[in-house]
């Protein structure tokens, strides 16, 4: 294995993240640090992955950032947990120009609303997000219900196609329309699940997107490892599953 295909040193302060790094087959050495970022070295190239830093040169879900900029990046940031759920829900709508205004969001955990607002501002979403948070114990899972006002497409199948094009080949964002919607679907898993419901009117419709993920999975350490894998040119699932 060549030096440039190996992370020679990775440091983190968060226990779940450090645990994944210790088991990662391409990470040679790990250390506990005081930094709230995943910092790693590839040869003599220092690199890092932040959480929730909307000022980072690259910010967003790994699935929605082109690989080439990630492979070349010194630093990037994945979203915080709440923003991860919200962005999973609405990024396909943003990119298609269907989203009419900032969504309304219901969360199963307390969060600083400004975190979500800054994430949406980064994607130039107009208006202020409305957030209602009610702390609910879901055994480590996090849930969001996102209600988005959208321009009604000529063909409702266009909505399904948007999400399929964005997430259909993703390891860690999956659609589930058939299972009983329960935290057990994602607890201990590295992926998020979503499902769609639409209430249609002639010009404007309301799309309701439900999203579930494990706090340490897509909403946490697993997402950072996924980002590191892409940045390093590793297999996306290495050290996660």
If asked whether residues 130 and 191 sit together in one domain, one would say: yes
For residue 70, being part of any structural domain is answered with: yes
Pairing of strands 204-214, 192-199: antiparallel
If asked whether residues 68 and 86 sit together in one domain, one would say: no
- Axis crossing angle, helix 81-96 with helix 157-167, rounded to the nearest 10: 120
For residue 240, being part of any structural domain is answered with: no
If asked whether residues 97 and 205 sit together in one domain, one would say: yes
Q: pLDDT 10s digit of each residue in the chain, 241 long?
A: 344 579 999 999 999 999 999 999 999 999 999 999 999 999 999 999 999 999 999 999 999 999 999 999 999 999 999 999 999 999 999 999 999 999 999 999 999 999 999 999 999 999 999 999 999 999 999 999 999 999 998 888 999 999 999 999 999 999 999 999 999 999 999 999 999 999 987 789 999 999 999 999 999 999 999 999 999 999 999 999 7
CA-based R_g, the chain, Å: 18
If asked whether residues 59 and 96 sit together in one domain, one would say: no
For residue 199, being part of any structural domain is answered with: yes
As a whole number of angstroms, the longest Cα–Cα distance in the chain is: 59
Q: Is 18 helix (H, G, I), strand (E, B) or coil?
A: helix
If asked whether residues 95 and 70 sit together in one domain, one would say: no
For residue 43, being part of any structural domain is answered with: yes
If asked whether residues 59 and 169 sit together in one domain, one would say: no
If asked whether residues 203 and 106 sit together in one domain, one would say: yes
If asked whether residues 47 and 105 sit together in one domain, one would say: no
If asked whether residues 210 and 120 sit together in one domain, one would say: yes
For residue 152, being part of any structural domain is answered with: yes
* Domain CATH number, residue 162: 3.30.360.10
If asked whether residues 69 and 110 sit together in one domain, one would say: no
For residue 238, being part of any structural domain is answered with: no
Q: Where are the alpha helices (DSSP H) in the chain?
A: 15-23, 67-72, 81-96, 113-122, 157-167, 221-232
Q: What is the pTM of this model?
A: 0.95
What is residue 4's predicted lDDT score, i.e. its pLDDT?
A: 55
If asked whether residues 138 and 153 sit together in one domain, one would say: yes
If asked whether residues 110 and 208 sit together in one domain, one would say: yes
Range of the domain at 184: 81-214
For residue 8, being part of any structural domain is answered with: yes
Taking a C-beta distance cutoff of 8 angstroms, is the pair 108, 134 a contact?
yes
Taking a C-beta distance cutoff of 8 angstroms, is the pair 63, 186 a contact?
no
What is residue 203's predicted lDDT score, i.e. its pLDDT?
A: 86
User: How many domains does the structure of the chain reveal?
Assistant: 2
What is residue 1's predicted lDDT score, i.e. its pLDDT?
A: 37
CA angle at residue 135 from 129 to 138, to 5 degrees? 115
For residue 241, being part of any structural domain is answered with: no
Structure tokens at 9: 């040193």
């Amino acid at each position: 294995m060549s030096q440039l295909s190996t992370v020679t040193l990775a440091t983190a302060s968060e226990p779940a993240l450090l645990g994944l790094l210790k088991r990662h087959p391409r990470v040679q050495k790990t250390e506990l640090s005081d930094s709230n970022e995943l910092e790693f070295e590839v040869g003599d190239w220092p690199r890092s992955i932040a959480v929730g830093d909307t000022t980072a040169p690259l910010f967003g879900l790994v699935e929605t950032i082109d690989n080439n900029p990630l492979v070349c990046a010194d630093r990037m940031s994945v979203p915080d947990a709440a923003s991860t759920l919200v962005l999973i829900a609405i990024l396909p709508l943003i990119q298609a120009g269907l989203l009419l205004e900032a969504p309304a969001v219901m969360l199963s955990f307390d969060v600083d609303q400004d975190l979500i607002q800054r994430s949406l501002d980064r994607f130039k979403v107009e208006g202020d997000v409305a957030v209602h948070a009610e702390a609910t114990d879901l055994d480590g899972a996090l849930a969001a219900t996102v209600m988005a006002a959208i321009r009604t497409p000529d063909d409702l199948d266009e909505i399904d196609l948007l999400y399929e094009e964005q997430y259909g080949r993703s390891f860690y964002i999956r659609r589930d329309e058939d299972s009983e919607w329960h935290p057990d679907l994602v607890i201990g898993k590295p992926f998020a699940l979503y499902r769609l419901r639409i209430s249609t009117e002639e010009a404007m419709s309301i799309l309701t997107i439900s999203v579930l993920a494990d706090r340490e999975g897509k909403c946490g350490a697993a997402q950072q490892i996924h980002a590191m894998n892409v940045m390093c040119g590793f297999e996306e699932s290495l050290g996660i599953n």
